Amino acid sequence: MKKPSTGLVYSERFSDHNTGHNHPERPARVIFAYEFLKKSDIFKDLILIRPKAATLKQIKSVHDQDYIERVERACSKGEHLLDSVDTAISANSFQVALLAAGSVIQLADAVMNEKIRNGFALIRPPGHHAERNRALGFCLFNNVAIAVKHLQEKYGLKRILIIDWDVHHGNGTQHAFEDDPSVFFFSVHQYPYYPGTGGEHETGRGVGEGFTLNVPLKAGSGDQEYRHVFEEIFYSAAARFKPEFILISAGFDAHREDPLAHMNLSDEIYGFFTDVAVRLAHENGHERIVSVLEGGYNLDAISRSIYIHLKHLMTPSLVESK
């Protein structure tokens, strides 16, 4: 029997989150990437997963009731911004944000039920900046954090690893779990840079102390610096944690062609990042990885990088042969 392959969640409904003219987090990001994948050699082997909106109960596992109601009210009133000049919204944004969060849950369930080996959520709006009671940095609901809570509550998982390689620090995700020793949060990011968090001294709080690992890098850092971080700093810490499930906040905005940051990554490095995650999973006796789109604003670069990321998720032999 053929082993389950890699799942992909995508929907045309993600385009209904209208961020307005010239906003970098625009519908074309996911449309262009999906069309690129459809024309690629790997598309026929992907398992397409139908997205399903998250329930309000699932959203409330991470976000305050008052905040959820405020997002819904602002969208229904036709407001154009929420909480900051960066976070654009439209009439359909609340429903699309529920769909994005639910899509990650759908992938997590499919992995846990062994319908797929791993998966990628080609979704928007992104989520890792969203705080418990505040929209921030293009993000409304914290998609990865909501999926972590779902995995904890439904499956009783005790050791969940979050890898955030977006060029910006995942402040919202870190804050959701910094006092939770069952979640190891790792972020490598440009620093100092938006949103201003993610210093080396941020290592968790209380019983969660030591389960947050931030590696800030200077502008201009490239493949060599990132390889050093993953091989010499991150890997041993994550291996000691022995993750039962790995979620990736997969931002592709540290790419050298991205217009919003100042890093120098190649397309190929995203394959290396993926290999590290796959190796960690294999060494802990499973293949449970769900990757979630965060940033990435050059249409060509994000599409090529997603393709390489998916190809390495789909081909564990690339890891095993190294």
Both tokens of 274, joined, read 């993926």
Residues 6 or more apart whose Cβ sits within 8 Å of residue 241: 159, 161, 184, 211
Residue among 238, 273, 245 at smallest CA distance from 167: 273
CB 71 within 8 A of CB 91: no
Q: What is the mean pLDDT of residues 19-26?
A: 96
**pLDDT over 70 at 322, yes or no:** no
Confidence class for position 1, pLDDT limits 50, 70, 90: very low
CB 199 within 8 A of CB 245: no
Q: What is the pLDDT of residue 321?
A: 43
Q: Domains plus CATH for the chain?
A: 10-320 (3.40.800.20)
**pLDDT over 80 at 318, yes or no:** no
Residue among 115, 117, 122, 119 at smallest CA distance from 107: 119
C-alpha–C-alpha distance, residues 96 and 125, integer Å: 8
The single residue of 17, 63, 128, 129 carrying the catalytic annotation is 129
3-state secondary structure of 178: coil
**pLDDT over 70 at 317, yes or no:** no
Distance between first and last Cα of the chain = 26
**pLDDT over 90 at 319, yes or no:** no
129 among known catalytic residues? yes
Q: What is the mean pLDDT of residues 255-278?
A: 98
Type and span of the H or E element at 216:
strand 212-217
Confidence class for position 160, pLDDT limits 50, 70, 90: very high
Q: What is the pLDDT of residue 167?
A: 98
Q: Say what percent of the chain tops pLDDT 90.
A: 96
